[in-house]
Structure formats: C-alpha cells, structure tokens
Amino acid sequence: MFTKSQVLETIDMVEKEHFDIRTVTLGLSLLSCVRATAEETARAVYDRVTHAAARLVPTAEGLSRRYGIPIVNRRVSVTPVSLITAAFPEKSGLVADALDRAARELGIDFLGGYSALVHKGTADYEEKFLRTIPEALARTERLCASVNVGSTRSGINIDAVRLMGELIKETAERTAAQSGIGCCKLVAFCNAVEDNPFMAGAFHGVGEADTVVNVGVSGPGVVLHALKGAPEANLTQAAEIIKRTAFKITRAGQLVAKEAAEILGARFGIVDLSLAPTPARGDSVAHILEELGLESVGGHGTTAALAMLNDAVKKGGVMASSHVGGLSGAFIPVSEDIGMIEAAERGKIGIDKLEAMTCVCSVGLDMIAIPGDTPASTVSAMIADEAAIGMINGKTTAVRVIPVPGKGVGDSVEFGGLLGRAPILPVHEGDAGKFISRGGLIPAPIHSFKN
C-alpha cells in the first residue's frame, strides 16, 4: 500500500512540479500499405492511420482522468516513409498530405516518420525522397521528418550530411514567414532509435511489431523540487535523489503504457524517461544543473553535472520499467527550456558548450536558432560534428537547428507554444565547404567491429 504523504507527494508532482506523461505515441507499421501507385498508397496510409489510431485520443484522455496524471500529447509514429514510396519517390508528398490530414482529423498534434535511414548510403529513391522534405514540411502542419545520416556500425554518410544542410536551409526559406518553423520539425540523427516516442525524431522502425505503444515521461520540475529539498547533499547523494525520483515517474509511465496498449490492442513497446523541458518556469533542465551548484548553465562544470543527471535518470528509469527505450535521459533544447533561453540571452551558453554537453546527454544540438545567412555547408558541418560524437561514443546524437531567415546574432525568434523562443546564437565563420563537399563515407570506428 501507500501512505498519505506519498499520495500528497504525487499530487504535488502534478499540481506544483509540472509532472506529466509527455506523450503516448502509437507506432504504426505502414509496410502493408504499399500499392502500385502513389495515389493508392496514400489512400491506404490514410486508412491505416485513421483506423489504427481512432481511439488514441479518447484512450489517453480516459487514462489521464483515471490516474490524475496529465497526458500532454497523443502522437503517432510510422514506418520511414521513404520505404513506402520507394517505387515513386517524387510523389512522396501525397503520403505526407495523407498523414497530415489523418493527424488533424484524429486530433494528434504531431505525426513522425517522414523519414529515411541513409546512414551507410543513399539509394536513388532515398535521395529523391529526401528532396521532397522541405516542401512537405512547408505545406503540412503536423508532420515531422527525420533522417539518420550515421551510425556506430556503419560510419557517417557525408553525402547525406551535405544534402541535409541544404534541405534544412531550404526548409527554413520555405517557412520564412513563420521564422523557419519547418526546421523545428526536421532532425538529422546519428544512431537513431526505432522506438523513440518524442518528436520531431519519432519513427516506427522496421524491426518493430505492427502496432506498438511507446510512452514518453517527463518531469524536470519534479527532479528540481527533489534536489531543492537537499541543498547540502553531496553528488553521490544527489544522484541517488535523482534516481529515486526518476523511478517514481517512470513507474507512472509504465502503468499508462501497459494500459494504453491493452485498450488499443497494441503491443507495449517502451517507456522513455526523458527530462523534456518546456518554456514554463519550473520545468527546466538548465535549472536542475544550476540547482546542483552552477551559477549559470553553460559555464565550466555544466558537462559534468549533465553527465551525472543523465546517468542517474537512466538508472532510475531502467529499474522502474520492464522495457526502457527511446532516448531516456535529459534533453537540452535551447528554445524549449526557460533556463537555457535566459542563459543564452545573457551570453552564458554558446554552441561550443552545447556541443560538449551532447557528448553526455541523451540527444544533441536541439532547437537552436542560428543566423539565417549561415551557409548550408556550415549546417552540414555541424551535423557532421554531432554525428561524429554519436558514432564514436555509441550514442544517439541529433541536430535540430533553425537558420532563421532574415535574422542574425542579436535578434531573437519566437516560435510559440512548446517550441518556445530563442536568441540567435552565433556559429563559427570558418568555412567547412571543402570538407563537406568531399563527400563519401567516414568509415565506422574500430570499436564497432564486435562480431
């Protein structure tokens, strides 16, 4: 059983510390939707998603009420669309439209999987698919795209990295009227995971079952509150506090995930415990790092503090769930974290420190606004750097940057809602064009040969 103080602790987590189930994401295989033409395929995709996810929103709402824990987002991830449209890649936009329409009709805020896995090489149909991404993101509202450009086992596909730099720039230009918001829905990955429930990088891996429920749990505010209760704890004790907190909130995710899977007739996939901040005060990963004793996130010590936080979160989560997966750790987006936003506005954090932090956090350079005139080759070089960190360290890394059209250092950009706001951060001016234009594949590292 449980005590009254434990009940009240749970209620405080929700009402005062922003604890929530961040997303219930239904992963759907679209492999059975391939037809002879793009039009027929798009129709089959629409039917598949609207049928399989018809009860997703009411199910999440019912579970949220039942347990008194908010479920903020209901989402769908699908098989990488490049595989579905391989026979007619130039017409992939029809599937993009079908997915977006399905998402709107179901009341789903984001649908992920307009994706391609090109970490070892780019097939002709994949390159054609990739070139449809900017237009697809510009004309859809809820679709998210991701591209895996490298992995520890295969190396880094620099040809794909070069193309991604161009596509990010084009996406920004095509959505210039909304400050390049299309780039908020476009991620370049290294070591992408196939069961990630969080957007914009969610897709449904081909090794997954047909229909799977993955749940993302968040709670930076809960961790912050727990640490505030022990201001004199040494770092061993602080790690223990984080682990215990992570355990509790992951257990809530596990309960919701199993029930949602049962109700929806799907397989329970994983719980992803990721401290995913929002722009709301009290829901910041940066503030956790500062609570640990840093004057400002971005200063020396930030990487060590984040490493400890990320690891403790994973340990608590692993103990709490039968299947932990996804990214599980701490996210460090800039525009979505009030502590990060303010540190960036004060000039306390820059891209170099953020890059260092990605060596130890669960993802990468995330939601960073950069000058609109940043060359495509520089964006590609940023992706190459991140992919190298992921490849060598055997972890997922990602790049989600927004070259904001018409804006430069000193300006700021407001995306609104959970996407938040951000000052434009400077990038290095040294040209990497020659390096990127060499193309080819950076070979897999020696420690990848484990067979």
Partner 1 sequence: MKAVVTVTGTDKKGVIARVSGYLFGRDINILDVSQTILGDQFAMMMIADIPDTTDFSLLQDEICELGQSFGMQIRLQHADIFDAMHNV
Residue in 322, 436, 326 with CA at minimum distance from that of residue 380: 436
Instruction: Answer for the pair 73, 110: CB distance below 8 angstroms, yes or no.
Output: yes
Nearer to partner 1, 255 or 376 (CB): 255
Task: Give the strand pairing for 71-78 and 267-275.
Answer: unpaired
CB 252, min distance to partner 1, A: 5
Distance CA 440, CA 413 (A): 35
Nearer to partner 1, 66 or 346 (CB): 66
Q: What contacts 152, CB < 8 A, 6 or more positions away?
A: 191, 390, 391, 392, 394, 444, 445, 448
CB 326, min distance to partner 1, A: 19
Distance CA 111, CA 129 (A): 18
| DSSP letter for each residue of 325-336 | -SS-EE---STT
Nearer to partner 1, 68 or 443 (CB): 68
By CB under 8 A, name the one of 51, 66, 228, 428 that touches partner 1: 66
Footprint (CB under 8 A) of partner 1, residues 247-286: 248-249, 251-252, 254-255
Q: What are phi and psi of 81, to 5 degrees?
A: -65, -25
By CB under 8 A, name the one of 50, 67, 323, 411 that touches partner 1: 67
Does position 204 interact with partner 1 (CB under 8 A)? The reply is: no
Does position 10 interact with partner 1 (CB under 8 A)? The reply is: yes
CB 9, min distance to partner 1, A: 8
Contact characters 25-64, partner 1, x per CB under 8 A? -------------------------------------x--
Distance CA 321, CA 342 (A): 34
Nearer to partner 1, 67 or 127 (CB): 67
Contact characters 68-87, partner 1, x per CB under 8 A? xx------------------
Q: What contacts 383, CB < 8 A, 6 or more positions away?
A: 149, 161, 164, 165, 188, 399
CB 257, min distance to partner 1, A: 11
Does position 16 interact with partner 1 (CB under 8 A)? The reply is: no
CB 313, min distance to partner 1, A: 16
Distance CA 377, CA 169 (A): 10
CB 262, min distance to partner 1, A: 13
Q: What are phi and psi of 107, to 5 degrees?
A: 75, 30
Nearer to partner 1, 4 or 434 (CB): 4
Peptide bond into 200 cis (omega under 30): yes
Q: How many chain residues bind partner 1 (CB under 8 A)?
A: 22
Tell me how crowded residue 317 is: count the other CB atoms within 10 A of its CB. Answer: 27
Does position 8 interact with partner 1 (CB under 8 A)? The reply is: yes
Q: What contacts 389, CB < 8 A, 6 or more positions away?
A: 190, 355, 358, 359, 364, 395, 397
Does position 235 interact with partner 1 (CB under 8 A)? The reply is: no
CB 382, min distance to partner 1, A: 40
Q: What are phi and psi of 429, to 5 degrees?
A: -90, -15
Nearer to partner 1, 117 or 217 (CB): 217
Residue range at the interface with partner 1 (CB under 8 A); choices 7-15, 166-174, 372-380, 430-438: 7-15
- Using CB under 8 A, list all residues that contact partner 1: 1-4, 6-11, 62, 65-69, 248-249, 251-252, 254-255
